[in-house]
Amino acid sequence: MRILIVGNGGREHTLAWKILRDAPEATVFVTQPNGGMTSRVEPVAIPSGDTVALAGWASAQNIDLVVVGPEGPLASGLVDRLEHVGIPAFGPTKAAARIESSKSYAEILMLRAGVPAAVSASFTDLGEASAYIREHGAPIVVKASGLAAGKGAIVCETVDEALQALESIMADRAFGEAGREVVVQEFMPGEEISVFALADGRDAVLMLPSQDYKRVGEGDVGPNTGGMGAYAPISLSSDALMSQVEDEIIKPTLAALAEDGAEFRGLLYAGIMLTESGPRIFEFNCRFGDPEAQVVLPLLESSLLDPMLEVARGGQLGGTILEWSSGAALTTVLASEGYPGPYPKGRRIHIPESVRDDPDVLLFHAGTTSGAHGLETSGGRVIAATGLGTTLSQAASKSREAATAIEFSGKQFRKDIGWREFARAERDVSMAQPEEVSQAEPGPG
């Protein structure tokens, strides 16, 4: 089997790793692969954004399946072009990808579908958006409506912060054309989870939920990034919660997209806030999350390739059951100095053999390249160090040990990924202790 993966970041490295585990005999091609991919895949020199050239290349090379990783090529209509030349592709069409490429469209769609979501409003006029914020107060969330590499949402604690965020997005064009329109969204207190749904247009199979950490600083401070780490599984999750997410959020959204003539076939990502009133959606993405993929896919024991092929070939997922490891995974993202702002490139990377050879550590590269002096940094997020374990504590230890051992100048990473889960476990233990002590003590008399 000949498979093309479009994209070359951490998500795509993880997809290549999983596909090669599912089908070791497959030939996997990757567009401009990063420095960690090159030993297992065949490079394709075409940029991931060149939809015309990629469709032509896939047709000429008799590719059996194209897996589109990033949101950009999906929003540009790569899947549409591949379908036109008869190449099966896993990913939504341009029309269906609007659920991520236009947050204002997603806002209208969610309202029409009746899914529990954050209250929001869209604006193309800075003055009108400013007036809305002053009327509604803070905390509040300001988002660039278009694609902003996961950095376009700003949580603002005060009205002044929100107005500054508006100015940055709409006037200064901090996110380019993505900020031509903004969505101002209600701030929802609660804990966030990420849910992946393999979708066949009408129905979906939910994957193991995970939790992502967007802020650059420990304790969840500082600006948003593309993601500084993630973990799975989550103790807050349950079969009942996932059924509620599927019935109240995923299925109605798929139905609404189908009504728009934009059946969603691919991976639908739901960013869910667990509020006092139940799960509520705050964003949809049209592809696997990064770095969530780096913890979810290593725990998937059954095939990912089989359901992706079924979806890409126009089939249905009815009866598909995914099998999961009973263990845990936690990933820590090693980022360049200055990220998520401007950062240097070309810093030499040293990965000790003890890390490379550890069976409980998986290294998924994002911003790396093979330079004249070996492995070098080439992006803001450089490597995701995923630790595996029978418990989350074991997985966290493995991940953090690897993150500490890998060396490059200016390296930054968070040492507290999963802190909410660990804090919750500590609370549970402290609440249980008095009862245990009272049971151990003899009664009066």
pLDDT per position as a tens digit, 82-118: 999 999 999 999 999 999 998 889 999 999 999 998 8
pLDDT higher for 329 or 155?
329
Evaluate if residue 135 carries a pLDDT over 50. Answer: yes
pLDDT tens per residue across span 38-59: 888 999 999 999 999 999 999 9
pLDDT higher for 300 or 122?
300
Distances (CA, A) of 296 to 15, 79, 181, 230, 388: 11, 24, 33, 9, 11
Helix (H) or strand (E) holding 274: strand 264-275
pLDDT at 435: 53
Given a contact cutoff of 8 angstroms between Cβ atoms, the answer to whether 334 and 402 are in contact is no
Evaluate if residue 68 carries a pLDDT over 70. Answer: yes
Cα separation of 364 and 43, whole Å?
17
Evaluate if residue 441 carries a pLDDT over 50. Answer: no
pTM of the model: 0.91
Evaluate if residue 61 carries a pLDDT over 90. Answer: yes
State the chain's maximal CA–CA distance in angstroms.
88
Cα separation of 213 and 229, whole Å?
5
pLDDT at 433: 66
Q: Which of 211-225, 286-300, 430-444 has the highest mean pLDDT?
A: 286-300
pLDDT tens per residue across span 296-337: 999 999 999 999 999 999 999 998 999 999 999 999 999 999
DSSP for 207-250, written as a single string = ---BEE--EEETTTEEEE-S-SEEEE--TT--HHHHHHHIIIII
Domains of the chain plus CATH, in order, are 2-94 (3.40.50.20), 119-186 (3.30.1490.20), 326-417 (3.90.600.10)
Evaluate if residue 430 carries a pLDDT over 90. Answer: no
Evaluate if residue 438 carries a pLDDT over 80. Answer: no
For 367, counting Cβ atoms within 10 Å of its Cβ (0-12 exposed, 13-18 middle, 19+ buried), the class is buried
pLDDT tens per residue across span 26-36: 999 999 999 99
Average pLDDT, the chain: 93
pLDDT tens per residue across span 191-234: 999 999 999 999 999 999 999 999 999 999 998 899 999 999 99
Q: In what order do the strands lie in the sheet with 120-123?
A: 120-123, 182-186, 140-144, 153-156
Cis-peptide, bond into residue 252, ω within 30° of zero: no
pLDDT at 150: 67
pLDDT at 373: 82
